[in-house]
A and B are shown apart, each in its own frame.
Chain A
Amino acid sequence: MQTEQLIKMANQIGDFFEAEPNQSQAQEDIANHLNRFWTLDMRRQLAAYAKEKNGTGLHQQVISAISTHLKV
C-alpha cells in the first residue's frame, strides 16, 4: 500500500489516543490496535518507513508505539 495512506491511517489512530492521560498506555493501545486490525505486511511497511525516515510525518505517539509494542 502507498506509504502515505498508511501514515494517514496511523496518525488518525494516534489522534484518537492523544487525549489519553496515561501516555505509555496510549502507546500500548495504538500498537495493540495496529496489531489487531492491520495486516502483518502493513505493519511491517509502516515500521520500515518509521525506521528509514525516522518517523517523519508520523504522530509522535505512533512512532513510540511502533518502536515499543508493534508486532512485526
Chain B
Amino acid sequence: MDDIKYKANVDYGTPKSVAEKQVTLNIDGVDISVPEGTSIMHAAQLAGVTVPKLCATDSLEPFGSCRLCLVEIEGRRGYPASCTTSCVEGIKVHTQTPKLADIRRGVMELYISDHPLDCLTCATNGDCELQDMAGAVGLREVRYGYDGENHLSSAKDESNPYFTFDPSKCIVCSRCVRACEETQGTFALTIEGRGFGSKVSAGNKDFLESECVSCGACVQACPTATLIEKTVIEAGVPEHSITTTCAYCGVGCSFNAEMKGEEVVRMTPNKDGGANHGHACVKGRFAWGYATHKDRMIKPMIRKRITDPWQEVSWDEAINYAASEIKRIEAKYGKDAMGGITSSRCTNEEVYVTQKLVRAVFGTNNVDTCARVCHSPTGYGLKQTLGESAGTQTFDSVMKSDVIMIIGANPTDGHPVFASQMKRRLREGAKLIIADPRAIDLVENSPHIRADYHLNLRPGTNVALISALAHVVVTEGMVKEDFVKERCEWGSYVVWRDFVAKPENSPEALEKELGVKADTVRAAARMYATGGNAAIYYGLGVTEHSQGSTMVMGIANLAMATGNLGREGVGVNPLRGQNNVQGSCDMGSMPHEFTGYRHVSDDATRALFEAAWGRPLSSEPGLRIPNMLDLASEGRFKALYCVGEDIAQSDPNTQHVTHALENMECVIVQDLFLNETAMYAHVFFPGASFLEKSGTFTNAERRISPVRRVMTPKNSFEDWEITAKLSKALGYPMRYSHASEIMDEIAALTPTFKGVSFKKIDELGSIQWPCDDENPAGTPTMHVDEFVRGKGKFFITQYVPTTEKVNAKYPLILTTGRILSQYNVGAQTRRTKNVEWHKEDVVEIHPHDAEDRGIHEGDWVGITSRAGETVLRAKITERVQPGVIYTTFHHPESGANVITTDNSDWATNCPEFKVTAVQVTRVNQLSDWQQHYKTFSEAQIAFANKKLSKNTQQPA
C-alpha cells in the first residue's frame, strides 16, 4: 500500500479501496499490487494505463453503464467493465485489443449520433471527456448519421443563477444523479423515463425550484457541457489554477481557483482537500463574485465626524491620520481607552499582527475577536475540562461514528460540506440524536435520514438537558469507569457523579422544564452511552446562552464519562461558524491570552513575547468587546481599530452598539465594503478579499490551510500590510516582507505551532495543530493517550435558568440562526447571486401562535423585546415549536439584533442570541429603528459615493 503513489489531478475512475490485504495482477504487461477490492480501472490508472471511461469518476461508486471501459481478462469469457470488476490475485488484464477497440468505437458512435456537433463553439471545448473519449477510441465516422430521432432540440434550463443544464448534450451517464446522491446526499436529481426516453430530471421542476441546493457536485461530475458553470460559458476554459481555501464557514474547504490571467473563471473543490475531499457548497463554489463587486471600497477614506462626507485620500494620508488620532487619544484619555477587534474572516497572520499592534504598540491588552460572540465558551469550556481550546477530531472521524449527537447546530445549512459527509455515514446506518428546539433538516427532512431521537427542548434549557442525560448514564451504570479512572481526575468525577445523580437532575424531574418526555431523554442517553463510538457535534445553539460555557463543560463531562474521547469516531466537536474562528482564537486575539492560549499573567510567556517584540507588555487582561462597548457608551473608551468585523450588525442590542460607536472619537474600519460599522467610522482602510492575499485559515478540526493570492489586491495591499503600515506610523515598524514570515514568528513563539511553516503547509496540503517535534505532520485526533491538561477534569454543571424570562408582555422566545445560501452578516453573500434563495430575513412562527395573533403567511409582523423592535415578514411553519419564533440576521435592514439583548454567558460574555423574550403582532409599517436605519444608511452611502476631493475639505 505504501508504495502506491497517487498523483494530483488524475481521475482514477473509482474510489480507493482501504482493504489491508493486497492482490497482485498484471495489466497490459505491468505487474501491480493493490488493496483487495480495487477496481481494475483504478489499478490500471495506478499502473499508468488509462482505460477509456465516461460514467466513472473516482468520487463516485462504479456504475458500469457507459460500456467504454470494457477489458479482457485471460481465461475469462466476455468483456467485463473495468470499473465494476475488482482485481483478483494473478489475473492478466488487457485494456487494448482489436475487439475492445471495435466495441468502444461502436459505443461512441451511438453517443455521438445523438450529440450536437458543435465542439468548436461548445463552452467545454478542450475540457470535455466525451470529446477526449472520441479521440481516445479513434472515432472517425458515425455510420448511423444524425437524422434519426434525437434529443438535440431539448430546451436548456438556465434557472439556476450559476450553472446551466443543457439536456441536448446529456449522455445519461448518471454521474450528476449519483453525485447528488452520494456526494451531496440531497437526491434532487433522478433519471426519468426508460431506454431512449431516459433523461436527467430535477423532479419535473427547473433546477431553481427543485430540491437542488446548488452545491455544484453535479456540474463537477458532468463529463460533457450538459451541466456547466455560466462563468465558463462567459469566459472560456481556465488556463491555470491555484490552490487556496474558502473564506466562508468553519469547514474550510480547499479549492482550486481556476483562472484566466487574474480573472477567476471558477472555483473547483480540491479532491485532495483534507476537509472537503473534492466537495463544496453553494457559497464556496459559486458565491465568490463579491470580490469584484461594484460595492468594493478600494481607496482609503477619512473624516472628522460621522456626520461629515468621506474624503478619499492616499494610503499615506489615511495611515498618518489614523496614527495621529490614536496618538491624540492616547495622550488625552490613556492607552486603556483604545483597543482592537479582529475577525474570523481574517487570516491567522492578519489576526496575529493586529493583536501584536494592540498589545505592543497601543500598549494595552484591549484586543478581542468575533469569537467573543460565537464560540468563546468553547475555548473556555474545553480548556477547563480537556486542557485545550479546540475540537478533538478530524471531520473524517465521523465515518467511524456509530452514534452522532448534534446539539444546537444545523450542519446542512451552516456546515454543508461536512453535513454531506455526516449524511453519508448516517445512510450507512449510524444512529442520530438531535437536541434542538427547532426541527432542522436532519430531523426528518433529509432523504434516507431520520433522527432516532429529536430532543426538541425549550430554548435556554441546554444545561438541564445535559445534566439529565448524565443522570441516566450515571444512575443506570453506563459510565466507563476504567476510562475515567485511567484518564480523568477521579475526585472531580466523584463530585460530578454525585451531583448529576441527584433526583432533581433526573429526566423526570426536568421534563416540564425541558419540554421533552423523560423516556425520550433516557433512550437518547442510553443510545449515546452504549451505542458504540459516539460523537457530539455542537454549534452556537450550545454556546450563545447565559450558560454557554457550562454547557460546553457538560458536553465534555458526558464524553469523558462514557469514554468517548481520544480515538476516531468519537469526540467533542464544535462546529465553528466562520472559516477562521479556531485560528483567530489560536492567534492570541482574546484579551487575556497570547497565541496558543497562554495567559497574559504568565511571566515566562510574557517575557518571551516582550523579548521578541521588544516592548513591555501588560500582565492584566484587557477589555472584551462588550466591555469596550459598555465603556464607550459611558464615554470612557475612545478609539477602536476594527479589522474585518461588523459589530454594528453581528453583535447583540444593535442600538447599544451604535450608541457606543457614536461615542468614540476614532473608529478605524478595515473591510471590503462600507459595512454597518463603517458607517460610524472616521477612517476607512479598504481591505483585500481572500483571493487577493496570502496567509492561512484554521478550520474547526484545527486544520491550518493555505490561503493564496490569485489576483492583485484591488485595494493595493494585503491586510497585514495595512496593519504593518499603521504600526510603522505609530513608531513600531513590523519588518515582514511576506505573510509567511509572520507565520514563522508565530511558530517561533507558539509551542503548538512550532513545526508550522508555509513551506510545510504547501508540501502537506494542510496541517492540523499541534504540530511540533513530536508530531511533525500535525495531530488529527487529540487527547489520544492523555488529555492535554493531563487528567480530564469534570465540572459540576448546575442548571441556572436564564434571566431572560417570558412573561405576559413578552410571551414568546426568539431564537436565531443561519441559512444555507447566506453567510453571517451577509456582506459577502448578499453581493452574489445567492440572494436568489434568500432575499430577506423572515420570522418563522408556529401556526398556533400565528393564529392566536391573526398572522398569515407573508404578513409584516412587529417583534418587540426588552431591547427594541423590528419588523419582518412572517413564515408560518411547524419547524418551530409553539412559543418559539426563529429568524436569521443576514440582512442589516432586518434588525434582528435590534431585539437581541446584552444578556451573556457567565464565563465569557458570549451573548445569549438564542433566547430573547418577545411579543409578535401584525403591523403595517417598519419599526422606528428600521426607518431611522434607512435614512442613516442612505446618508452614509451617499457620503461614500460623493467623496470629497482632498482640496474640498480637510478634517479639522
Question: Which of B147-155, B615-623, B682-690 is the contact stretch?
Answer: B615-623
19 contacts between A and B (CB under 8 A): A1-B631, A1-B634, A2-B630, A13-B907, A15-B800, A16-B547, A16-B550, A16-B800, A16-B907, A19-B499, A19-B796, A33-B907, A36-B599, A37-B907, A39-B336, A39-B621, A39-B622, A39-B623, A41-B336
Nearest 10 A/B pairs, CB to CB: A12-B906, A19-B798, A19-B796, A15-B800, A40-B620, A1-B630, A16-B906, A13-B906, A37-B592, A37-B621
Residues of B contacting A1 in the complex (Cβ-Cβ under 8 angstroms):
627, 630-631, 634
Smallest CB separation, A50 vs chain B (Å): 18
Q: State whether B546 touches A20 (Cβ < 8 A).
A: no
- B601 touches A (CB below 8 Å): yes
Interfacial residues of chain B within 798-832, with CB under 8 A of chain A in the complex = 798, 800
Q: Return the CB mask of A4-41 against B: 1 if under 8 Å, else 0.
A: 01000100110110111100000000000101111111
Enumerate chain B interface residues (CB-CB to A < 8 A).
Answer: 336, 495, 499, 546-547, 549-550, 591-592, 599, 601, 620-623, 627, 630-631, 634, 796, 798, 800, 904, 906-909
| Residue among B495, B499, B546, B621 making CB contact with A38, cutoff 8 Å | B621
Residues of A contacting B630 in the complex (Cβ-Cβ under 8 angstroms):
1-2, 5
Residues of A contacting B592 in the complex (Cβ-Cβ under 8 angstroms):
36-37
Q: State whether B499 touches A15 (Cβ < 8 A).
A: no
Closest to B631 in A: A1
A9 and B906 contact, Cβ closer than 8 Å, known pairs A2-B630, A16-B550, A21-B495: yes
Residues of B contacting A18 in the complex (Cβ-Cβ under 8 angstroms):
798
Smallest CB separation, A15 vs chain B (Å): 5
Please, how many angstroms separate the alpha-carbon atoms of A20 and B793 in the complex? Answer: 14
Q: State whether A39 touches B627 (Cβ < 8 A).
A: yes
Closest to B546 in A: A12
A9-B906, A15-B800, A16-B906 known; 14 new pairs, CB 8 Å cut-off, are A1-B627, A1-B631, A1-B634, A2-B634, A12-B546, A13-B906, A15-B798, A16-B549, A16-B798, A35-B601, A37-B621, A39-B591, A39-B627, A42-B627
Closest to B498 in A: A21
Smallest CB separation, A56 vs chain B (Å): 18
Residue among A9, A36, A39 with most chain B CB within 10 A? A39
Residues of A contacting B499 in the complex (Cβ-Cβ under 8 angstroms):
19
Please, how many angstroms separate the alpha-carbon atoms of A9 and B591 in the complex? Answer: 17
Closest to A19 in B: B798
Residue among B499, B591, B623, B627 with most chain A CB within 10 A? B627
A36 and B634 contact, Cβ closer than 8 Å, known pairs A15-B800, A16-B907, A41-B336: no
Enumerate chain A interface residues (CB-CB to B < 8 A).
Answer: 1-2, 5, 9, 12-13, 15-16, 18-21, 33, 35-42
Please, how many angstroms separate the alpha-carbon atoms of A16 and B599 in the complex? Answer: 22
Please, how many angstroms separate the alpha-carbon atoms of A5 and B591 in the complex? Answer: 19
Closest to A43 in B: B620
Residue among A21, A37, A38, A42 with most chain B CB within 10 A? A37
Please, how many angstroms separate the alpha-carbon atoms of A1 and B902 in the complex? Answer: 14
Please, how many angstroms separate the alpha-carbon atoms of A10 and B255 in the complex? Answer: 46
Please, how many angstroms separate the alpha-carbon atoms of A36 and B336 in the complex? Answer: 17
Residues of B contacting A41 in the complex (Cβ-Cβ under 8 angstroms):
336
Please, how many angstroms separate the alpha-carbon atoms of A37 and B626 in the complex? Answer: 13
Residues of B contacting A37 in the complex (Cβ-Cβ under 8 angstroms):
592, 621, 907-908
Q: State whether B796 touches A20 (Cβ < 8 A).
A: yes
Residues of A contacting B904 in the complex (Cβ-Cβ under 8 angstroms):
9
Smallest CB separation, B866 vs chain A (Å): 14
Residues of B contacting A15 in the complex (Cβ-Cβ under 8 angstroms):
798, 800, 906
Residues of B contacting A2 in the complex (Cβ-Cβ under 8 angstroms):
630, 634
Residue among A16, A20, A35, A36 with most chain B CB within 10 A? A16
Residues of A contacting B495 in the complex (Cβ-Cβ under 8 angstroms):
21
Please, how many angstroms separate the alpha-carbon atoms of A42 and B634 in the complex? Answer: 14
Please, how many angstroms separate the alpha-carbon atoms of A20 and B601 in the complex? Answer: 26
Please, how many angstroms separate the alpha-carbon atoms of A15 and B798 in the complex? Answer: 8
Residues of A contacting B622 in the complex (Cβ-Cβ under 8 angstroms):
39
Please, how many angstroms separate the alpha-carbon atoms of A24 and B906 in the complex? Answer: 20
Closest to B366 in A: A39
Residues of A contacting B634 in the complex (Cβ-Cβ under 8 angstroms):
1-2
Please, how many angstroms separate the alpha-carbon atoms of A46 and B909 in the complex? Answer: 17
Please, how many angstroms separate the alpha-carbon atoms of A44 and B103 in the complex? Answer: 87
Smallest CB separation, B835 vs chain A (Å): 38
Please, how many angstroms separate the alpha-carbon atoms of A42 and B637 in the complex? Answer: 14
Residues of A contacting B800 in the complex (Cβ-Cβ under 8 angstroms):
12, 15-16
Smallest CB separation, A22 vs chain B (Å): 8
Please, how many angstroms separate the alpha-carbon atoms of A19 and B798 in the complex? Answer: 6
Please, how many angstroms separate the alpha-carbon atoms of A9 and B630 in the complex? Answer: 13
Closest to A11 in B: B906
Residues of A contacting B621 in the complex (Cβ-Cβ under 8 angstroms):
36-39
Please, how many angstroms separate the alpha-carbon atoms of A42 and B798 in the complex? Answer: 26
Smallest CB separation, A19 vs chain B (Å): 4
Please, how many angstroms separate the alpha-carbon atoms of A46 and B821 in the complex? Answer: 45
Closest to B798 in A: A19
Closest to B908 in A: A37
Residues of B contacting A21 in the complex (Cβ-Cβ under 8 angstroms):
495
Residues of A contacting B620 in the complex (Cβ-Cβ under 8 angstroms):
39-40
Residues of A contacting B909 in the complex (Cβ-Cβ under 8 angstroms):
9
Please, how many angstroms separate the alpha-carbon atoms of A37 and B21 in the complex? Answer: 55
| Residue among A13, A19, A36, A39 making CB contact with B601, cutoff 8 Å | A36
Residues of B contacting A20 in the complex (Cβ-Cβ under 8 angstroms):
796
Closest to A38 in B: B621
Closest to A33 in B: B907
Please, how many angstroms separate the alpha-carbon atoms of A35 and B620 in the complex? Answer: 8
Closest to B800 in A: A15
Please, how many angstroms separate the alpha-carbon atoms of A51 and B630 in the complex? Answer: 23
Residues of A contacting B546 in the complex (Cβ-Cβ under 8 angstroms):
12
Smallest CB separation, B574 vs chain A (Å): 20
Residues of A contacting B599 in the complex (Cβ-Cβ under 8 angstroms):
36
Please, how many angstroms separate the alpha-carbon atoms of A8 and B592 in the complex? Answer: 21
Smallest CB separation, B917 vs chain A (Å): 17
Please, how many angstroms separate the alpha-carbon atoms of A49 and B752 in the complex? Answer: 41
Residues of B contacting A12 in the complex (Cβ-Cβ under 8 angstroms):
546, 800, 906
Please, how many angstroms separate the alpha-carbon atoms of A67 and B190 in the complex? Answer: 71
Closest to B619 in A: A40
Residue among B621, B622, B634 with most chain A CB within 10 A? B621
Please, how many angstroms separate the alpha-carbon atoms of A41 and B636 in the complex? Answer: 12
Residues of B contacting A36 in the complex (Cβ-Cβ under 8 angstroms):
592, 599, 601, 621
Please, how many angstroms separate the alpha-carbon atoms of A35 and B627 in the complex? Answer: 15
Residues of B contacting A39 in the complex (Cβ-Cβ under 8 angstroms):
336, 591, 620-623, 627
Closest to A40 in B: B620
Please, how many angstroms separate the alpha-carbon atoms of A42 and B365 in the complex? Answer: 14
Smallest CB separation, A28 vs chain B (Å): 15
Please, how many angstroms separate the alpha-carbon atoms of A19 and B796 in the complex? Answer: 7
Smallest CB separation, B464 vs chain A (Å): 13
Residues of A contacting B796 in the complex (Cβ-Cβ under 8 angstroms):
19-20
Smallest CB separation, B546 vs chain A (Å): 7
Smallest CB separation, A9 vs chain B (Å): 7
Smallest CB separation, B305 vs chain A (Å): 26
Please, how many angstroms separate the alpha-carbon atoms of A15 and B550 in the complex? Answer: 11
Please, how many angstroms separate the alpha-carbon atoms of A37 and B908 in the complex? Answer: 8
Smallest CB separation, B796 vs chain A (Å): 5
Smallest CB separation, B316 vs chain A (Å): 35
Please, how many angstroms separate the alpha-carbon atoms of A40 and B622 in the complex? Answer: 8
Please, how many angstroms separate the alpha-carbon atoms of A69 and B620 in the complex? Answer: 16
Please, how many angstroms separate the alpha-carbon atoms of A40 and B631 in the complex? Answer: 14
Residue among A9, A12, A13, A21 with most chain B CB within 10 A? A12
Closest to B620 in A: A40
Smallest CB separation, B560 vs chain A (Å): 18
Smallest CB separation, A44 vs chain B (Å): 11
Please, how many angstroms separate the alpha-carbon atoms of A21 and B494 in the complex? Answer: 11
Smallest CB separation, A25 vs chain B (Å): 10
Smallest CB separation, B638 vs chain A (Å): 15
Smallest CB separation, B494 vs chain A (Å): 10
Please, how many angstroms separate the alpha-carbon atoms of A51 and B599 in the complex? Answer: 29
Please, how many angstroms separate the alpha-carbon atoms of A63 and B499 in the complex? Answer: 25
Residues of A contacting B601 in the complex (Cβ-Cβ under 8 angstroms):
35-36
